[in-house]
Amino acid sequence: MKKIVVTDQAPAAIGPYSQAVIAGNLIFTAGQIALSPQTGEFTARDVTGQTKQVLDNLNEVLKAAGTDLAHVVKTTVYLTAPDHFKPMNEIYMKYFTDNPPARSAVFVQSLPKNALVEIDAIARL
């Protein structure tokens, strides 16, 4: 059994996917980019601002599922340029201060809507 998570506190899906899916006691989120939940537009053009919005969006999806960033066990970070890693990481570690989750970081050629960063997560309920 799976349960679909939907919230208007994070950007709506821009394709045929769910914001998140609960399976058992785990939640699997879709990748989040730095879109405003209200306007659907980017909230920042730099990787620092985009990372903040991405993690805020991710937290809202997790809250809608009944959990939060403190319960994340794994993230995958997608970046469009190697020089974006350090500024992304500086923001990331402010959101995951104690017992950070496992993480993979992948450099990609492009992301939806030309975002600079995208992050997805697996969390426990």
At 74-118, the pLDDT tens digits run: 999 999 999 999 999 999 999 999 999 999 999 999 999 999 999
Structure tokens at 54: 């991405």
Instruction: Identify the pLDDT of residue 65.
Output: 97
Pick the closest to residue 90 from 121, 62, 60, 50 (CA basis): 50
| CA–CA gap between residue 57 and residue 32 (Å, rounded) | 7
- Report the predicted TM-score, pTM, of the whole model to 2 decimal places: 0.96
Domain ranges of the chain: 2-124
Share of the chain above pLDDT 70, in %: 100
Q: How confident is the model at residue 58 (pLDDT cuts 50, 70, 90)?
A: very high
Topology of the domain covering 2-124 = 60s Ribosomal Protein L30; Chain: A; (3.30.1330)
Mean pLDDT of 50-58: 98
14 pLDDT band, cuts 50/70/90, is confident
